[in-house]
Amino acid sequence: MRASNLPNSFVIENVVVWNADSVSKAQDVFVNSGKIEAIVPTGSKKHSSQIVNGNGKVLMPAGLDAQAHLRVPGQAEKETPETGIRAALRGGYAAVLTMPNTKPVIDTVEALQVGKNQVGPAEREYGVEVLWSAAITRGQNGEELADLEALAGAGIAAFTDDGKGVERDDLMNRAFASLEKLGQPLLQHAEFPNHGGVLAPGPTQEKLGIKPYFDDVEWKMVERDIDVLREHPRARYHVLHVSSRKTIDLVEAAKREGLKVSAEVSPHHLYFTSKDIPAGRSEFKMNPPIRSEEDKQALIKALQSGAIDFVATDHAPHEITKKTDDFSSAAFGTTGLETCLRTLIYFYKRGELSAERLVASFATKPAEFLGVGAKYGVLSVGRELHATLVDVDAPASDIGVNDLESLSKNNCFIGAKLPGKILQVFQPTRVWQVNA
């Protein structure tokens, strides 16, 4: 990737502008001092500004990933600030929310500051903003709440024990009571512990003779959480990486009830099924697991309808020694920052996701969810330029290791054919040539 400085005043000529509420063909985007000054039909406004030729490609808001494991602080063997942020940039993102299951766990203001200090230089160098989540419980041990008020005051955007579900009803009750006042969302990794499952029921699970990972450990926790949430109706509850159609039903019912419930889906749960998992490729071992065709179709339908609010990658890098060929002992997790947008383009090209919902899922809704919707997620006059130029008509090509900036290469999309090509990522003062 290579960055070029942008002039103070310039025009991105001849682009199709995608927003969550509109698609506008043949547009010129005028930019002055890093902000969008005008969006007008191509050639309708005279100018002498420097021209960036969009060549008829799609200009859309740069993305915001609401679930990424940058592994900072303390896990440089999995990901470094530089490699994680470069992965986000290559994937067309403007910002990411990083998870707190680090060393130490981000459960205090002091641990948060350690992480911010480590990420800061790469954040400034590459222009991708890092937002921070903190643990719900101290050490993510599920026994005692962290100091949620102090962490909220330090700028935490969300709270989660991601990697673990909060099992105790009383802790969920107290967490909702606190967050009802503070306003930050609680992001639940919905999984009751000690089930021992590895892969969802399917051919590879049966062939390898490993313990099945059933979906009741997910949806039953969501069902419990919603019951507790009813006692705190102003609290915000969000289900991470939904994998089961039964979870979708619970989320939809809670929304109809008027509760502040939202949900996300990860790209791999949209694209693959349990029948697609090759034996020996533990990149396909993630938590929750890839499930049935019925679950996959329910997830696609829910994303298009808005029942699932947005897409998040659950980017989870691991060193090679943790992703062995043995599914039973391998770590859970796949990376996803570099491959998410092209996965969404795949569904757009198939007519299963509209351009507007693609933008909403990738950029607008996660930005609004995390309270940064005034900065990211929309291309309109008066706003800073945070945009991605994409060739949505580029033919499908194999995903390879060379497409990945992440330190870790445990990406289940390696070998998959995905359409589209991310060309450039615009920031207020510079543009990145993604494949340079």
Q: Indicate which residues carry an active-site annotation.
A: 314
Distance spanning both ends of the chain, measured CA to CA = 5
Instruction: Give dist(CA 310, CA 370) in Å, integer.
Output: 12
- Categorise residue 88: left if φ over 0, alpha if ψ from -120 to 50, beta otherwise: alpha
Are residues 6 and 36 in contact, defined by beta-carbon separation less than 8 angstroms? no
Query: 259, 251 in Cβ contact below 8 A?
Result: no
The three-class DSSP label of residue 240 is coil
Give one DSSP letter per residue of 365-386, joined into a string.
Answer: HHHHHTT-TTTSS---TTSB--
Strand ordering across the sheet containing 158-160:
63-68, 93-98, 129-134, 158-160, 186-188, 236-239, 260-265, 310-311
The H-assigned helical ranges of 211-292 are 216-229, 245-257, 267-271
Instruction: State the SS3 of 326-366.
Output: CCCCCCCCCCCCCCHHHHHHHHHHCCCCCHHHHHHHHHHHH
Cβ-based neighbours of 187, under 8 Å, separated by 6 or more: 67, 133, 158, 159, 160, 162, 238, 240
Contact 434, 423 (CB under 8 A): yes
Residue 291 is given by DSSP the state -
CA dihedral 174, 233, 69, 432 (to 10 degrees): -150
For 392, the 3-state DSSP assignment is: coil
CB hemisphere CA count around 343 (13 angstroms): 25
Spell out the residues 6+ positions from residue 356 whose beta carbon is closer than 8 angstroms to its own. 18, 19, 20, 21, 22, 23
Cα–Cα distance for residue pair 255/168, rounded to 1 Å = 24
